Amino acid sequence: MEFHKLSAREIAAGVKEKKFTAEEVTRAAIERIKKYDKKYNSLVAVCEERAVADAKKIDEMIARGEDPGVLAGVPFAVKDNFCTDGIETTCCSKMLKGWVPHYDATAVKNMKEAGAVLVGKANMDEFAMGSTTESSIFGPTLNPRDITRVPGGSSGGSAAAVAAGFVPVALGSDTGGSVRQPAAFCGVQGMKPSYGQISRFGIVAYASSLDQVGPLTRNIGDMALLMDVLAKEDANDTTCDAYERPSFTEAVGSASLAGKKVAILTGFDRESVDRPLVEAIDRAAAICREAGAEIIEAKLPITMEHTVACYYMVALGDASSKLACYDGMRYGHHADGKNLSEMYKKSRMEGFGEEVRRRILVGTCILTRGYYENYFVPATKVRQLISDEFKELFKEADLLICPISPALAYKRGLGEKDPVRMYLGDVFTTIANLAGLPSVSLSLGFTPEGLPTNVQLLAPRFGDAELLSYASIIEKTAGAPAAAEIMEGEC
């Protein structure tokens, strides 16, 4: 049976109805990974023995008449910055090579308690700092839709694993677009929930005021199912809001755009965005109009002018502070030196890659006296202005549609040649992180060359359920992406 073509919901239903076993699904997923992932390098660790053992436990529960959970037997992968009990967690950096946590991140724990089976750790940009998944110590990940292009980053391994059909669902982290941009490049669906919606406990931090756990799937129904599992309060994370979450699955089931106002972002140079992506926005707007929505224009002058600068001031300052503990003494790779200062320098120089060192140095500069008052503090004030601008917008509109990236999936190697261009490419994704908003990367089909096209959907904070319901309406017309076809002779 071609399990890789099934959705998470179909797999869970089949396992519960005894059409097939969780062990069969898990073994098939691992076999597909072994056969094809040498080409894509989406996973850096495969937990075969543990995964099969966990799958057998699911089958035993079903045999006893017990309910194993809504994700019974569903294989999943997690980005390598999620702590996994007994499984190496490196953030794809030499700095953490060999570190094995003794506990699961809350998101991983919730997935397992719902019956999902962890099959592997996904490749990523080192310490989640990047847009291409080329800076990993395990080597770059290739895009299953076109191996000459990057899968996006930093959750490129998670997106590629879903796109290749290795797993139906995966988890990533999103600090400035690190779930949505890879989802867009790999032709799958990705979501950054509202800040505080999902616990971040057990995720190695990049910038705590921006980071959020996000699901990657091939359809919105599976995304709603994962949100039902993941979106819960957690006493271990004080930023995870304690409120009663709605049923995301029910919201998708009762979706309607009739009488809603859908805003289309203006105020940016449409000529600077690849034509297929502009056409995708127009198509999404037409679908919403046909579904009964009123289409209006939205201008966000503060957001569009200051987002990228504001984001990098906040994110890199936070990163410099967060990563200070990896000094070779308290945590991380250790290198000997003639004195303490030399030991610190050698440990961090050897442990961190070029992009991470670049961001730490810029962040350290931002936090020094003078620069802190002139750059970091103003950035926090601009961040509030951006948040306020969205609050005003959502008094008039229920949904905002805009691009995710100005470009289709980048050619490999571009990030190394022009890192500033990579940073500027975050102009549309970082807005959701700065304002704490929920955002979905929604696939809108493929170009004639086979490259994924997409749009970004945003809603008010904690309007995640409504956002998914709107996304499901567009997906119903546009179609959900299937797993990439892999030719036998390619691997």
Q: Give per-residue pLDDT as tens, 325-370.
A: 999 998 999 999 999 999 999 999 999 999 999 999 999 999 999 9
Q: According to the model, what pLDDT value does residue 414 have?
A: 77
Total domains, the chain: 1
pLDDT at 330: 86
Q: Is residue 345 in a domain?
A: no
Domain membership of residue 311 (yes or no) is no
Residues 6+ positions from 53 with CB-CB distance below 8 Å: none
Task: Round to the nearest angstrom and report the end-to-end CA distance of the chain.
Answer: 21
Tokens of 75: 């294989």
Taking the C-alpha atoms of residue 406 and residue 394, their distance in angstroms, rounded to an integer, is 24
CB-CB neighbours of 452 under 10 Å: 27
User: Is residue 123, in this structure, part of any structural domain at all?
Assistant: yes
Helices (H), 291-336: 301-322
Catalytic amino acids?
Answer: 79, 154, 178
What per-residue confidence (pLDDT) applies to 442?
98
Answer whether residue 380 is part of any domain.
Answer: no
Residue 382 belongs to some domain of the structure: no
* pLDDT at site 226: 98
- Domain annotation covers residue 368: no
pTM of the model as a whole: 0.97
Cα 356 to Cα 267: distance, rounded to the nearest angstrom: 33
Do the domain assignments include residue 490?
no
77 - beta bridge partners?
A: 120, 170
HSE toward the beta carbon, residue 351, CA cutoff 13 A: 27
Residue ranges, the chain, pLDDT below 70: 415-416, 488-491
The answer to the question of residue 307 being in a domain is no
Grouping H, G, I as helix, E, B as strand and the rest as coil, residue 371 is: helix
Describe the strand order of the beta sheet including 43-46 as a list of residue ranges.
43-46, 117-122, 75-79, 169-173, 213-217, 189-192, 439-446, 452-458, 399-402, 261-266, 294-299
Query: What pLDDT score was predicted for residue 490?
Result: 55
CATH number at residue 21: 3.90.1300.10
Domain that holds residue 102: 3-299+388-478
